[in-house]
Chains A and B, each alone.
Chain A
Amino acid sequence: MFACLVGPGAAGIDWLEEFTPRYERAGEDAVVLDLAGMGRVLGAPAEIARRLAERAGGGVRVAVAAHRDAALYAARGFAGVTVLAPGEEASRLGPLPVELLDPPAELLETLDRWGIRTLRDLAALPATGVAERLGAAGVRLWKLARGEGLSPFRPEAEEARCAASLELDHPIDALEPLSFVLSRLLRDLHDRLEQRALAVLSLRVSLQLDAAPVHERTLRLPVPLRDPLTLLKLLQLDLTAHPPTAAVLAVEMEAEPAPPRPAQHGLFLPPSPEPERLELTLARLAALVGEGNVGAAELLDTHRPGAYRTVPFTAGAGGEAHPRRPRLVFRTFRPPRPVRVVCADGVPEAVLSRGARQEIAATAGPWRTSGDWWRGNAWARDDWDVAFADGTLHRLSQRSGRWFLAGRYD
């Protein structure tokens, strides 16, 4: 649903955001408003048109229609307030003159010679005949005359970023009082974003410090969040882990807005943590065990045994399930435990570690692997699977002549 206001100075109206944040100035005397989804707030189309006319005052024509073009031409063509119900655009706009569509001069002259004066006359022409004689421009006019919406709605560039700042009267050197300042700025940002039905995708906080460089932290969120309390807690946890080095003189906050996440869950989908709570839990876990110790493991594309990296965890992440084969899994010793190995004919017979000797009952190996010699960080190792006399299964690894206990099968 679109509304259009036409009249002297309509393009300069500055109260449009009282009705909607999405509007387009169409020339110097017209402005088009997108009222999609505003029905529950502003009422029926007729009520919206009435309120717009009342707010604009005399001299401004108002029209409401299903699409932008119909609203614009109705407002230009009819005085007062006009409401076009969906489907009746062609019949209501029919009596209006063809000049309203602003056709090129040559086309207007041709139509004039044919005796086509109104939109109804134009709409009554056969489509193929119009296309053959008037070309693409003529077809466009013909479609507009039939009440079709052709022009895309181009709302004025919405503010891509949302920022708030505050200079403090007195420097703050503790996180607790700083939280009150952060809370105030977050609520300010939240209110502004909520007016646009937007959420926060990332949040940058710059703290201007007393005799120290600016302390800057950025929260990158996997899903847009709307709850200011969750954002405040995330900021508090982040600043606790990375505190400013001096007293804070001013705070600047900038949010990157994004459409909020639709919250509809499937009835038969497996449950997963709510993104807001998960994000907060991840931040708390990172504060507890360290940032690098929380995440999802990702195997690296290499033959180097045990090569992986930790990546940020997101709920509902996709992943290819391998064919499942129950098997004896490996437990890694981090770091590998250096040991001395007694060999006979190159085969390990016993392991000496911390002054104790463990006899090896059986061995399999060596499993010889190497790689990355073309990169400069070459590696080569010989692995042995060994069973100690106590029945435990371990992996022995020999690298650069040194022996390590790499882990245990369990």
Chain B
Amino acid sequence: MRTNAALQAVLQGRFASEFGLRPQLPPDVLPLGIPEVDALCGGLPRGALTEITGPASSGCTSLLCAALAQATADEETCALVDVTDAFDPESAAAAGVVLPRLLWIRCNGNAEKALRAADLLLQAGGFGLVAMDLADVPPGDGRRISLSSWYRFRRSVESTRTIFLVSGQEPYARQCASLALEAGPVQAEWSGRQLEGVWLPVRRRKPVGVAMEARLRWKPEIAG
């Protein structure tokens, strides 16, 4: 009677490729188009939940719009669950978001409806990026979102090419997020009555690795 090892040795002779180590495929990611952040995190992983956190004026909405701009420019269909109705189409379009390819769902401050809307979008499938903007939701309310909801979102996007991107003041998804970035606060550079530029620090909270922080300097191009 042949042992398992002997049987394997026979099969390995005929089907060597099945028993060898398979080359690891590069992860499927969406670059943000911001070299410093892409060098920091390698891009947003597909089929996973990514979380961007930061206080008010931290730049996390700018990073969210950069991701939307990159995905819509690649002709992907995207969706934004806007919990507090704060999305500014004019500003987003100026940042490169192709508005006709972005489904905008305004929840008028109702976080429960926002969660159900995100659920519907992820179940529908086919979206390149689904973003949920919780940036103006008070941290207390954000923390009340059950971990099972985040698990369900993570499971919904697994084995798909959809990126689920969440922005908020605090990390709400915790261990369900594959990538966690922390932004801000922005530091403005003033020259008298003129805003010269803003510094945006971005830190990678998860996964922990060598490169942990990047600093971007943007011209403001605001108002006027």
Contacts and interface: CB of A to CB of B under 8 A. Distances in A.
B77 A410 contact: no
Contact of B96 (A294, A317, A323): A323
B210 interface: no
Interface string B86-109: 111111111110111111111110
Interface in A298-325: 298-299, 305-308, 310, 313, 315-325
Contacts of A325: 94-96, 221
A363 B223 CA distance: 12
Interface stretch (A53-61, A140-148, A276-284): A276-284
B33 A332 contact: no
A170 interface: no
Nearest to B36: A326
Contacts of A333: 86
Nearest to B56: A392
A260 B188 CA distance: 55
B6 interface: no
Contacts of B123: 281
A247 to B, nearest CB: 31
B86 A332 contact: yes
A315 B100 CA distance: 9
B224 A367 contact: yes
A288 B113 contact: yes
A92 to B, nearest CB: 53
Interface string A360-387: 0011110100000000000000011101
B103 A319 contact: no
A331 B135 contact: yes
Interface stretch (A36-44, A80-88, A217-225, A266-274): A266-274
A315 B77 contact: yes
A331 B88 contact: yes
B218 A322 contact: no
Contacts of A331: 61, 86-88, 135-136
B47 to A, nearest CB: 12
B77 A324 contact: no
B88 A321 contact: no
Given A334-B85, A393-B188, A408-B56, A324 B220 contact: no
B116 interface: yes
Given A293-B108, A330-B91, A332-B87, A270 B75 contact: yes
A263 interface: no
Nearest to B102: A296
Contacts of B72: 319, 321
Contact of B103 (A277, A295, A308): A295
B186 interface: yes
B44 interface: no
B29 interface: no
B116 A332 contact: no
Interface residues of B, number: 76
A239 interface: no
Interface stretch (B10-18, B140-148, B193-201): B193-201
B100 A319 contact: yes
A45 B195 CA distance: 79
Interface stretch (B19-27, B124-132, B149-157, B171-179): B124-132
B161 interface: yes
B99 A329 contact: no
Given A285-B105, A310-B104, A326-B216, A296 B136 contact: no
Contact of A297 (B32, B75, B102): B102
A344 interface: no
B87 to A, nearest CB: 7
B165 to A, nearest CB: 14
A329 B88 contact: yes
B98 A297 contact: no
A160 interface: no
A138 interface: no
B41 interface: no
Contact of A271 (B69, B98, B128): B128
Contacts of A306: 88-90
B223 A395 contact: yes
Contacts of A324: 33, 69-70, 73, 95-96
Nearest to A320: B98
B220 A328 contact: yes
Nearest to B196: A364
B50 interface: no
A326 B88 CA distance: 15
Nearest to A324: B96
Contacts of A363: 193
Given A288-B113, A315-B77, A326 B33 contact: yes
A167 B87 CA distance: 48
Among A318, A334, A393, the one with the most B-chain Cβ atoms within 10 Å of its Cβ is: A393
A252 B70 CA distance: 47
Nearest to A280: B124
A10 B186 CA distance: 84
B217 to A, nearest CB: 11
- The list of the 5 closest CB pairs from A to B, nearest first, reads A273-B126, A324-B96, A297-B89, A319-B100, A410-B61
28 contacts: A271-B77, A271-B161, A273-B125, A281-B120, A285-B120, A285-B121, A293-B108, A294-B103, A296-B99, A296-B100, A297-B89, A298-B99, A298-B100, A299-B99, A315-B126, A323-B96, A324-B69, A325-B96, A326-B95, A327-B62, A329-B62, A329-B92, A330-B88, A330-B222, A331-B135, A385-B222, A391-B186, A408-B57
Given A322-B93, A331-B86, 18 more contacts: A271-B128, A273-B124, A277-B124, A282-B103, A296-B99, A298-B100, A305-B90, A313-B103, A317-B101, A324-B33, A329-B62, A331-B136, A333-B86, A365-B224, A385-B223, A387-B188, A393-B188, A410-B61
